[in-house]
């Protein structure tokens, strides 16, 4: 790694007025009064496991891509974001999260393709047409929700089950669906302008004072999959693999080293050259998705920098 280039694996701040702390897969979340302070660490997860070594600038990329898309979609749905005091930090409204993730898929890829290939034609109660090839578009995007697991894997669930089990009220769920389709449409249009296809993504929503907000990250490499638009049709016609802009390459590296998150499997440790490659891919991803040049923040004392910037806004 370059000298002076630090990666942040995690934080343990004691902030004034702090009432709770939650460590997610890649984010450290502090609650101060009615605000959430989300620190995007450089941790990277795959197959629901956090890898041993952090990736320099990954947190900054994640935070800034999410900010970019939250700003670009706030006319569709109100979101939780209030300010960004540091390249790795987002501060926003603390909402009560809905216990479902709104997963939306424009193409039969990943989990959807694995189910399809196994002969299933129903995914979360949604019918998938016959005769599809991997990476084909669905006639129209489909919503395949997942329950939010506190631990381990999120589970597929149908709209009917969500409403029947009272996980989300019917009225709220119909609103979440509307928001999900509209956000995916906007994300698709923005991606296309950048020569990309937004393949699938997920949105999380919460409620505060009876109002629904979009929460967490959106359209980031951790929550979304992108294909390159150029050559997509040709690759599909030839039955070739699609060129992806996602963290699929991390999953592939892990699988090539015998890890798929299954019991008894040992997580491989990434060597420096691979870590550098992942950093480069994330930066390329930022620039490709947003159309903006990535400005590397000074990471020499990254933890101190982050803490100082948070304290400034709390002060």
Give the residue from 213, 218, 176 showing the smallest Cα distance to 201: 218
Say if residue 1's pLDDT is above 60. no
Average pLDDT over residues 281-290: 93
* Residue 260: exposure state from Cβ atoms within 10 A (0-12, 13-18, ≥19): exposed
Average pLDDT over residues 236-240: 97
Strands in the chain per DSSP E: 18-23, 27-32, 35-40, 45-46, 49-50, 81-86, 89-93, 96-97, 100-107, 122-123, 126-127, 137-143, 146-147, 155-156, 196-208, 211-215, 224-228, 244-245
Confidence label for 48 from pLDDT (cuts 50, 70 and 90): confident
For the beta carbon of residue 254, count every other beta carbon within 10 angstroms: 20
CATH code, 97-210+217-245: 3.30.470.20
Say if residue 241's pLDDT is above 60. yes
For CA atoms 295, 296, 301, 304, the dihedral sign is: positive
- pLDDT tens digits, one per residue of 38-47: 999 999 999 8
Q: What is the pTM of this model?
A: 0.91
Average pLDDT score over the chain: 94
For CA atoms 213, 17, 299, 272, the dihedral sign is: negative
Please report the pLDDT score of residue 138 as a whole number: 98
- pLDDT tens digits, one per residue of 121-152: 999 999 999 999 999 999 999 999 999 766 65
Say if residue 170's pLDDT is above 70. yes
Confidence label for 249 from pLDDT (cuts 50, 70 and 90): confident
Say if residue 301's pLDDT is above 80. yes
Give the residue from 66, 101, 96, 62 showing the smallest Cα distance to 81: 66
Average pLDDT over residues 274-282: 94
Please report the pLDDT score of residue 255 as a whole number: 93
**Contact (Cβ atoms closer than 8 angstroms) between residue 54 and residue 7:** yes
Give the residue from 32, 90, 68, 183 showing the smallest Cα distance to 82: 90
Q: Where are the domains of the chain?
A: 97-210+217-245
């Amino acid at each position: 790694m370059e000298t002076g280039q630090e990666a942040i694996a995690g934080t343990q701040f004691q902030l004034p007025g702090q009432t709770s702390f939650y460590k997610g897969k890649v984010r450290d979340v502090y609650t101060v009064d009615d605000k959430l302070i989300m620190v995007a660490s450089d941790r990277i997860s795959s197959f629901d496991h956090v890898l041993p070594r952090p990736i320099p600038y990954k947190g900054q990329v994640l935070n800034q891509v999410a900010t970019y898309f939250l700003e670009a979609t706030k006319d569709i749905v109100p979101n939780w974001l209030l300010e960004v005091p540091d390249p790795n930090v987002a501060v926003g409204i603390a909402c009560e999260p809905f216990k479902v993730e709104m997963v939306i898929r424009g193409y039969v890829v990943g989990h959807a393709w694995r189910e399809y290939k196994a002969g299933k034609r129903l995914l979360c109660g949604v019918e998938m047409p016959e005769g599809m090839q991997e990476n084909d578009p669905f006639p129209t995007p489909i919503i395949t929700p997942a329950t939010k697991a506190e631990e381990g894997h999120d589970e597929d669930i149908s709209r009917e089950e969500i409403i029947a089990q009272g996980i989300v009220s019917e009225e709220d769920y119909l609103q979440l669906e509307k928001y999900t389709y509209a956000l995916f449409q906007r994300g698709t249009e923005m991606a296309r302008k950048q020569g990309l296809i937004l393949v699938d993504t997920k949105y999380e929503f919460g409620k505060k004072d009876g109002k629904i907000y979009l929460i967490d990250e959106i359209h980031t490499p951790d929550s979304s999959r992108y294909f390159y638009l150029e050559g997509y049709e040709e690759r599909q016609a030839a039955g070739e693999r699609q060129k992806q802009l996602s963290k699929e390459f991390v999953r592939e590296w892990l699988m090539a080293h015998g890890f798929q998150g299954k019991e008894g499997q040992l997580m491989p440790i990434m060597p420096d050259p691979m870590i550098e490659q992942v950093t480069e891919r994330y930066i390329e991803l930022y620039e490709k998705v947003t159309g903006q040049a990535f400005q590397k923040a000074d990471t020499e004392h990254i933890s101190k920098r982050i803490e100082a910037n948070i304290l400034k806004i709390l002060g």
